[in-house]
Amino acid sequence: MAASRIEFGVYLPQVGTSWEDLRDRVLLCEDLGFHSVWFMDHLYPPELPQVPSFEAWTIATAVLALTSRIRVGHLVLSNTFRHPALLAKMATTLDVVSSGRLELGLGSGSYAPEHERAGIRYDSPRDRARELEEALAIVRAAFAGEPVTHEGRFYRVRDLPNLPPPAQAGGPPIHVGGAGERWTLPLVARYADVWNCPTYALADFDRKRAALARCCAAIGRDPASIRTSQEAVAVLVEKRADVDDARALALRRFGGPGWGVEAGGYVGTPDDLVARIRESAARGVSLFVFFFHDRASPETLRRFARDVAPEFASATA
């Protein structure tokens, strides 16, 4: 597999914001040349049921309709919310109408309370992993263009067409996020185009990537055929004197080891971030999806696009 270009995405959680502000932030990301924008998939923000939020697929459809270049995805869609046959049709349709700009992130579901409130089944981690495996098989088959038949424990599909086919050959890139060595990484090895290392696994990135390589070896897949992305908090300021205050804001907003600010965050001035990105690219990361410390203010987005991204205009991982 050829080396992958280094590209940058912006995570824009659709939480506690207006549609107008979110729309304007996406349009700015497109104007500034970011590769992609990414959304969450929850019925309400975890632990914050009183905070307004927008539904994941609807918001992605809206912003793809308003843009012409930027790619759009989710890290990650919850497989528990949509039957995979329907999801494959939705993804194919959106890929066609966006001229091939959809990135499809899919996971097993991560937050039990929202399922309990909504009356949606939420199985054990083992069973949810098995459900996700069947879903990935169905989606992958649907993207291939032939009618899909699948007889599984959780899903049964018989001779189901998926026409027209996706705009992207083979369908939208499938991202599988997570780092579980028992259940998740084997699914990445078998089905994913992109492995997304989430914030909570940044401290163990090298070990998890080695585990993924072993999963690939077990099924005869070249691990280089799977692109690696990271989801990480980025703290970007103009002057070194401002770093401590900005880091403190990031730790208040993205506190706890699950966010990986201390273990794997990208913190400092533009020169600091350039050095840190180069280090990660040397370890195989080619797509960086950043939670910016100030919720991706226009000033910070412009600073990144002006002072960081050009250093990687022709770089590969």
Beta carbons of 137 and 148 less than 8 angstroms apart: no
Q: Mean pLDDT score of the chain, rounded to an integer?
A: 97
Indicate whether 315 pLDDT > 90.
no
The pLDDT confidence band at residue 110, using thresholds 50, 70 and 90, is very high
Half-sphere exposure of 36 (CA within 13 A, CB side): 27
- Helix axis angle for 298-307 and 19-32, nearest 10°, is 10
Stated pTM of the model? 0.96
Average pLDDT of the segment spanning 39-63: 97
Sketch the domain layout of the chain as residue ranges.
7-312
Indicate whether 272 pLDDT > 80.
yes
Average pLDDT of the segment spanning 28-48: 97
CA–CA distance, 91 with 243 (Å, rounded to integer): 41
pLDDT at 186: 97
CA–CA distance, 278 with 285 (Å, rounded to integer): 9
pLDDT at 83: 98
CA–CA distance, 308 with 304 (Å, rounded to integer): 5
Half-sphere exposure of 85 (CA within 13 A, CB side): 13
Average pLDDT of the segment spanning 228-256: 96
CA–CA distance, 272 with 69 (Å, rounded to integer): 29
| 3-class SS shares of the chain: helix, strand, coil, % to 5 | 45, 20, 35
What are the residues whose beta carbons fall under 8 Å from the beta carbon of 113, sequence distance 6 or more? 46
What are the residues whose beta carbons fall under 8 Å from the beta carbon of 137, sequence distance 6 or more? 150, 152, 191
Query: First-to-last CA distance in the chain?
Result: 11
Indicate whether 303 pLDDT > 80.
yes
Beta carbons of 122 and 112 less than 8 angstroms apart: yes
Average pLDDT of the segment spanning 60-82: 98
pLDDT at 101: 98
pLDDT at 255: 87
pLDDT at 2: 60
CA–CA distance, 289 with 38 (Å, rounded to integer): 8
Indicate whether 271 pLDDT > 70.
yes
Tell me the per-residue pLDDT of 179-237, one tens digit each, with 9 for 90 and over: 999 999 999 999 999 999 999 999 999 999 999 999 999 999 999 999 999 999 999 99
SS (H, E, C) 73-137: EECCEEHHHCCHHHHHHHHHHHHHHCCCCECEEEECCCCHHHHHHHCCCCCCHHHHHHHHHHHHH
Q: How many CB atoms lie within 10 A of CB 161?
A: 10
Indicate whether 18 pLDDT > 90.
yes
The pLDDT confidence band at residue 309, using thresholds 50, 70 and 90, is very high
Which of 186, 207, 188, 206 is CA-nearest to residue 196?
188
CA–CA distance, 237 with 249 (Å, rounded to integer): 12
CATH 3.20.20.30 is held by the domain 7-312? yes
Tell me the per-residue pLDDT of 135-149, one tens digit each, with 9 for 90 and over: 999 999 999 989 999
Question: Mind giving me the DSSP string for 228-240?
Answer: EEEEEEEEE-SSG
Share of the chain above pLDDT 70, in %: 99
pLDDT at 3: 84
Say which residue the tokens 């965050």 belong to: 265
